[in-house]
Amino acid sequence: MNPENITHATDLKTGRAVVGVRLSNAPDQTAWVYREDFERVTAKHTGSWSLTHLNRPKSPVRIIDGHTSVYVGRLITEAPGGTAIVYHDEDRLNLRSDNLGLTRGCGGRDRKRSLAPLFVSTRTRGGRRA
């Protein structure tokens, strides 16, 4: 990660060290994360940080590391499969751990696989279920 894209500061509310990461596909926007979470995440994922979709106002921040894309909020919360991230203040650039929560959902899983039990066919063809 380019050091020019990193800003170090102190969170005025908590007094904790924070890191601002300028997003590669939206350089006018910065994601904020506590320093200890930033160090833990970047120790394993060294790619560029970006918004998933530029044209969606609530697009989550991800790291593109080679051919892999991972959501930063999921890394910070260590979210298990089947959960979705909740942004308490609804700001997806605020990745401070106290702003993130988990709820039931299909995050971290293939959506079709997680919804499959809801769409079991009861129709039959030739004595077999379709």
Number of domains in the chain: 1
- Does residue 130 fall inside a structural domain? no
Residue-wise pLDDT tens digits, 38-58: 999 999 999 999 998 877 767
Q: pLDDT at position 119, please? A: 38
Phi first, then psi, for residue 42 (nearest 5°) are -75, -15
* Dihedral angle computed from the Cα positions of residues 66, 70, 72 and 75, in that order, rounded to the nearest 10 degrees: -110
Q: Which residue has the higher pLDDT, 77 or 115?
A: 77
- Does residue 71 fall inside a structural domain? yes
> Residue 50 sits in which domain range?
3-124
- Does residue 29 fall inside a structural domain? yes
- Does residue 129 fall inside a structural domain? no
Picking from 88, 93, 53, 58, the residue whose alpha carbon sits closest to that of residue 72 is: 93
